[in-house]
Structure 1
């Protein structure tokens, strides 16, 4: 398979065949084949001609790229060697069987052979071989998406400084260094680089790869240069995301981040060009086309800076197409043909080639079809079911999109499904074709027939989700292209069928509606997992029906945003469901919410608030359910919001009939997922609190954060409410002091009064500490979870000076998941930083109410917000009745 840089076909194969196996071990593969050939010479003297012939036949098949034929020959030879108990030759053949299965993506088979070899070479005390086999085992685990395990085999630790290559005794890199095995050392370094690249730790990946590059070994140069190009290209993509997030937040770092992206793109270009030169010098045609494809992909990603001239891009495509005809049949050739056929026009964005239709393809339809058919024929000659499934599916996608020939598209897609399901049990590709089949049927207005295919794709994807979302950072980048649409398209069909025979919209308890709620909830889990890039938060999953264990007065409103409309589902205390469509396009609704949000923030300078935008959203979201809420005496609303709806401060929606804000009618909370929400009520009356505060001006990464002048008042109030509290303020609030404090003492409440920024990615989501440092949300999670005190469970994490990017629903997703990621049961946080005496007043009332009997967190916040709304009748500043001062505060997670 070709490399996974960017949006090539293989990037979306979800097989995790990251090309350390294809690239950095190209050198080792050559060494091993040479070893095999030397061993064959010895076998001629010792074994029957039949066994020798089978081994030689397997070698020739392998060289020709016919891996299935090679396996067949070697497995037959293996039987003979086992009968003769010739363990050396058994090991040689087992090694090549392992590598061949790995080339085919059948990693479980490969791993079983590698583990046998590891045991054998250990028994022989052949430590050089043990070191190399450990590298191969690590590659297999990386292919599974288990990069942490791979790093453990390669080095034994997550290294912080690689200058001395200090790895644990018995790891692959330590053994190679001890044995002075330079090829083994380079392979281990390269494998480490690729494992860290997959985890999104591009800095560490580049360090390891640069260390390998310093050996200047001609055999490995091509592979190392290629991998370095991939690492820099991936890091550039990350810098682009950070630049966009900074721009949305009007942060000065946007220009700097963009420049870093540009620099990485330039580095990637240099390395890909060098790898191409090396491949040509070595007459490595497979490597040559790999480098050309990387350069072609890089052109699309770097168009905004015109990194690669268009004429050079056209030349690269022509050279790749010419070279393709000269390549011998191989799996690599199959995927190269698919990649070239799927290229978009130069003016188009590079999207997922197997999940989105090209608005305008680069190649003429006739030429693209020829390439797809060529890929199918090669895969069939090779008897490689995996590549055949992809080639058939890709051609089916072509007919689905470009020629609208749904009959042909259907036939090809079903063949791809059969190969992926029946022969391979390859769920990583199966979901793509099941999803494609659903789209093809739906395009013919056969929604009833389409639903089972979407359901099957969803079921398959659910089994893969964790591995996909935490194993490869590149997949996280493209979540919205390759995973999210499956959930949304399935949920839309389920909701439409739920309403089909229910004109009154009453008693909607149909299986389709329940299934839609399950689908939507799964999407929430996937989004959170995708944002944080780990599965720590999923340890909190509770499979009970949360609505069955909460108080009778609580109702839930779950939303899902679709292209042309938005679904809102009400779950009432008696388990009845209601569904209401908001008949506005995604773009229209997004703009209305942005206007609402912006109008609230303007309250810092506008004394009087114009409720028009708040009224419009109330009519859309709340009014349709109003009678149901009244009839069941609901007093608490819990929102499970989707997409940009997470940016809506629901408390500030305005009922023009009753002339009341929503918070005046209901206590309000939000949760990213019911399954991730604890429903235990905890008495916090006598709880101790840890107060973390920064009142002084701070400067982080060149960005200036204003002093929070009212923080001292705020923290004083918290300390007065909780006598057993401890405060770390300004210079005392450091990461080390925080770690020491929570390890020594249990704090059910952690109150943080400092600037907190939430960005598009976790790297830009952090709290500011007292020494001009930042505590990222991932660091906070690790810090809280590694405490030695098992009873140190954080019930409430309060963040009173948060800032999310306007219009960036991913930054709000980070805010929604902050309690989960930090291991807290609930959070009280703000959508924007008010930084005023009003916050101190709100916090005082919140904690005062929270300590009262039978008051929930949601109710405590409601009463605190009402105190500000009623500012004109109290002793506080009357301007605090403006929603700017009270609307941003929300309860996340456990609202009880």
Structure 2
């Protein structure tokens, strides 16, 4: 039988293990002793003694960083406790095994052991431990990229804003009900971290501050240090995201807005710095906690852009030196591996950075002479720890270092090792696409196109497999996520297009290469849509047979692929043939031309419209295929646009004599695979029409009165008997949902100010009573009823607005139909005079009621009527200007 001293020692060691292993390093108190007294001579006593020795052996291995060495004795101890039906000790062993598996990156095994430990504690009726284990399980889900599951365990439904308290059985509620203040610190801290990963920073800050307040009340410096570090991470994420918004605004020429975003970003960076420094002061007795904070401070000071933080250069050098000194003293651990990798990747502050690459570009490294040594050290430690995930990153980064040095033999060798390690462990899968992509670049650099193609294909297939997990894990850095996968897809599409150029134009190989390029960019667009709408966006793809059903004999599909130095325009014709032409200008020049074109369209004050920019774009995009379109013959053009091209109406392109819409019906879709091919059912068409005529103020912004909206809605009611109108104070989200749930309305028409922004949270429709309908609200309301027969045929949004040159805003406009589950959307790209809108909408619906007229043709006829305003007495002549008719685009199903 073990001595009392031995029991106390095991108890103490397991307590330390418990405290140091939490993802957030939050103080949760001591675990019960594993060693239990038993009567002398009993068989169970002998087994208990053996188990205690095994526990001690595991603790000693764990404390030296030998996590694999801890697993076997603990698993043997667990078998002994199970044999003697010692559920309490079995539970404690399981939770420690869970922590150990998490330490070596085996998150799935960790989750399994925590779930078993929770079941044990439920049998024992130990609610305090149930709550604590749910918190640790939630942390594991967060680390595995499943923040939604984490939030559900901790406090219920992730997206509920009306929820005032956490439901019964959640970790937060259990801690509160059982007065477990340590458990509350951990649960709120973990909840804050999960919300950070979902990009919900307000919720993250609120829960982390609650955690910090309790830690301060209980004088728990370890918990306070960890929570302050996580608050710093939230503010740094906000700063990086806001910096992304600033870059987007600058690209579209909105310099004032860009300046405002940059100032906000600086303030967030300063908040991050303050919290990291406070955390470091509290973490003086914990080397691992210190290293986590120092890594964050180093990342903060050595950001790609020149830092605007006070005394940044001195702080950067001092912090890095402090971190390097600590790295030498730090025991072998996963933290040490990642620190070494990060320091090896650091670059000179003024090194130009390719913001479309997740990998460090091949610029001058800050620790150039030490980078190889640091990475080799990281590889050795990760191998000793048998931590597949950190080993994968260490090997892969070493391969990247050799790639930058153009030592392709070593680059290929270490990249292949990184692939092999990542592929054998589920928790390292999200790194696998990086090394497959890296292999593709290395093969391509050596002129081995065949192997490069295979590597790129594997990388994109891997991304498609893990897209949801990646989205969740990267939700707090939306722009970074998009930039991370953008170059991969574009590099591969470019490789395919270049290979096509070497094939005979009438060969199957030519078509195969073009098809592959289109599929690659389509995959990127699906990921972008999901990224914009968040990780819970479920995209339902239709089959290839239904795509062929959608694209009839008289339809041509234009697809664009924007590369850094030029842009590809691909046209798919009804006979299966494909055509490729290049716009030989770089992406920034194209962006400038596009923005100039759109600004010219919007200038209603120019009585005489200057069609020159429209002609220049026509000559680049349409003219090279004019003969193909005539010989087909084509009646409808469908555009699947890339990047900045999403923000302009193709209807307004001009051939020198006519606008494009005068010759063809036009539609746009984010992807053919997302477009429902079902034709409009014209039986029992009715409309739920909602509108606002009054001036409104939302978020401090004033929206002008829309005096002609009432006329617009009355015309709709006249054309569609059985329709319903909700105007001004009757136009509320609640009334809208009630009407849609009671009656089937195939068409939902909303005539109000709408703002579509790169920032999804700033995208909304103005409703009655100075309120707003967010993208989430609209999608939730429509999706609940769109599954009913004959519902969700068309969503019309008039008086909307997207920013000039903002391709993400246009992405939101295009994606709303997909996300809400409607077949088609009619929307405007900029705010239009509501009198002309009423004219166009009335004409559109009149055409739509006619048998055999497609939605695209109905819009075309309505736009042509305004173009020919001079010939029609009842229409104001000035409406012929494209500012009045061009912004209306049809998204999705055009049949």
Q: Decide: shared fold, TM above 0.5.
A: yes
1:854 paired residue among 852, 855, 867: 852
Note the C-alpha offset of 1:174.
1.7
In 1: Cα distance, 2:739 partner to 2:426 partner: 53
In 1: Cα distance, 2:439 partner to 2:743 partner: 56
The equivalent residue for 1:382 is: 385
From the superposition, tell whether residues 307 and 736 of structure 1 become closer, same or farther in structure 2 (CA, over 3 Å). farther
Note the C-alpha offset of 1:364.
3.4
| Paired residues for 1:325-474 under 5 Å | 325-348=328-351, 355-358=358-361, 360-401=363-404, 403-422=405-424, 426-474=428-476
| Paired residues for 1:190-589 under 5 Å | 190-215=189-214, 216=216, 217=218, 218=220, 219-241=222-244, 260-280=264-284, 283-300=285-302, 305-307=308-310, 309-348=312-351, 355-358=358-361, 360-401=363-404, 403-422=405-424, 426-502=428-504, 504=505, 510-539=511-540, 541-542=542-543, 544-589=545-590
The equivalent residue for 2:783 is: 785
Note the C-alpha offset of 1:549.
4.1
The equivalent residue for 1:15 is: none
In 2: Cα distance, 1:162 partner to 1:379 partner: 45
In 1: Cα distance, 2:682 partner to 2:302 partner: 55
Contact 2:67 2:100 in 1 (8 A): yes
Note the C-alpha offset of 1:257.
5.6
In 1: Cα distance, 2:401 partner to 2:65 partner: 26
In 1: Cα distance, 2:160 partner to 2:420 partner: 46
Contact 2:867 2:879 in 1 (8 A): yes
- Name the stretch that deviates more: 850-859 or 126-135: 126-135
In 2: Cα distance, 1:161 partner to 1:895 partner: 37
In 2: Cα distance, 1:423 partner to 1:153 partner: 25
Note the C-alpha offset of 1:778.
1.4
In 2: Cα distance, 1:428 partner to 1:495 partner: 28
From the superposition, tell whether residues 50 and 543 of structure 1 become closer, same or farther in structure 2 (CA, over 3 Å). farther
Matched residue of 2:755: which SS? strand
From the superposition, tell whether residues 526 and 681 of structure 1 become closer, same or farther in structure 2 (CA, over 3 Å). same
In 1: Cα distance, 2:781 partner to 2:130 partner: 36
The equivalent residue for 2:6 is: none
Note the C-alpha offset of 1:475.
4.4
Q: Deviations over 1:777-804 (max 9, x none)?
A: 1111112223598447221111121211
The equivalent residue for 2:12 is: none
Q: Deviations over 1:112-133 (max 9, x none)?
A: 1112112211111122221112
Note the C-alpha offset of 1:82.
4.0
In 1: Cα distance, 2:779 partner to 2:401 partner: 44
Contact 1:249 1:804 in 2 (8 A): no
Structure 2 runs not aligned, ≥5 long = 1-18
Q: Does 1:171 align with 2:175?
A: no
Note the C-alpha offset of 1:386.
2.3
Note the C-alpha offset of 1:359.
5.5
Matched residue of 2:690: which SS? strand
Q: Deviations over 1:147-174 (max 9, x none)?
A: 222222222344868997x322222222
Note the C-alpha offset of 1:361.
3.7
- Name the stretch that deviates more: 716-725 or 766-775: 716-725
Contact 1:454 1:490 in 2 (8 A): yes
In 1: Cα distance, 2:258 partner to 2:369 partner: 43
From the superposition, tell whether residues 38 and 482 of structure 1 become closer, same or farther in structure 2 (CA, over 3 Å). farther
Note the C-alpha offset of 1:329.
0.8
The equivalent residue for 2:124 is: 124
In 2: Cα distance, 1:838 partner to 1:250 partner: 28
The equivalent residue for 1:102 is: 102
From the superposition, tell whether residues 37 and 698 of structure 1 become closer, same or farther in structure 2 (CA, over 3 Å). farther
Note the C-alpha offset of 1:326.
0.8
Contact 1:385 1:424 in 2 (8 A): no
| Paired residues for 1:151-162 under 5 Å | 151-158=151-158
Contact 1:555 1:573 in 2 (8 A): yes
Note the C-alpha offset of 1:73.
3.2
Contact 1:567 1:580 in 2 (8 A): yes
Contact 2:105 2:388 in 1 (8 A): no
Contact 2:388 2:428 in 1 (8 A): no
From the superposition, tell whether residues 66 and 313 of structure 1 become closer, same or farther in structure 2 (CA, over 3 Å). same
How many residues are aligned here?
A: 867
Contact 2:569 2:581 in 1 (8 A): yes
Note the C-alpha offset of 1:508.
6.8
From the superposition, tell whether residues 738 and 528 of structure 1 become closer, same or farther in structure 2 (CA, over 3 Å). same
1:773 paired residue among 764, 771, 774: 771
In 1: Cα distance, 2:532 partner to 2:370 partner: 39
In 2: Cα distance, 1:276 partner to 1:559 partner: 50
Note the C-alpha offset of 1:140.
2.6
Could you tell me the TM-score, scaled by structure 2's length? 0.91
Contact 1:547 1:573 in 2 (8 A): no
From the superposition, tell whether residues 560 and 36 of structure 1 become closer, same or farther in structure 2 (CA, over 3 Å). farther
In 2: Cα distance, 1:573 partner to 1:882 partner: 33
In 2: Cα distance, 1:653 partner to 1:802 partner: 21
From the superposition, tell whether residues 249 and 367 of structure 1 become closer, same or farther in structure 2 (CA, over 3 Å). closer
Contact 2:799 2:831 in 1 (8 A): yes
The equivalent residue for 1:638 is: 638
In 2: Cα distance, 1:490 partner to 1:229 partner: 37
Note the C-alpha offset of 1:616.
1.7
In 1: Cα distance, 2:162 partner to 2:658 partner: 61
Matched residue of 1:590: which SS? helix
The equivalent residue for 2:3 is: none
From the superposition, tell whether residues 375 and 22 of structure 1 become closer, same or farther in structure 2 (CA, over 3 Å). farther
In 2: Cα distance, 1:468 partner to 1:705 partner: 38
Q: Deviations over 1:794-821 (max 9, x none)?
A: 2111112121111111111111112122
Matched residue of 1:573: which SS? coil
1:816 paired residue among 814, 828, 845: 814
In 2: Cα distance, 1:772 partner to 1:350 partner: 44
Note the C-alpha offset of 1:430.
1.0
From the superposition, tell whether residues 349 and 712 of structure 1 become closer, same or farther in structure 2 (CA, over 3 Å). farther
In 2: Cα distance, 1:46 partner to 1:229 partner: 50
In 1: Cα distance, 2:647 partner to 2:20 partner: 41
Q: Does 1:725 align with 2:742?
A: no
Structure 1 runs not aligned, ≥5 long = 1-18
In 2: Cα distance, 1:370 partner to 1:638 partner: 54
Q: Deviations over 1:240-268 (max 9, x none)?
A: 45566677596987776655544433332
Contact 1:640 1:670 in 2 (8 A): yes
Note the C-alpha offset of 1:424.
5.7
Q: Deviations over 1:340-385 (max 9, x none)?
A: 1111222247778984343644523211222112111222222323
- Name the stretch that deviates more: 317-326 or 346-355: 346-355
In 1: Cα distance, 2:862 partner to 2:607 partner: 21
The equivalent residue for 1:139 is: 139
Q: Deviations over 1:262-297 (max 9, x none)?
A: 4433332221111100101xx111111111121222
In 2: Cα distance, 1:334 partner to 1:412 partner: 16
Matched residue of 1:755: which SS? strand
In 1: Cα distance, 2:594 partner to 2:161 partner: 47
Contact 1:760 1:808 in 2 (8 A): yes
Q: CA RMSD in A?
A: 2.9
Matched residue of 2:539: which SS? helix
Which structure ranks higher in relative contact order (CA pairs < 8 Å, sequence separation ≥ 6)? 1
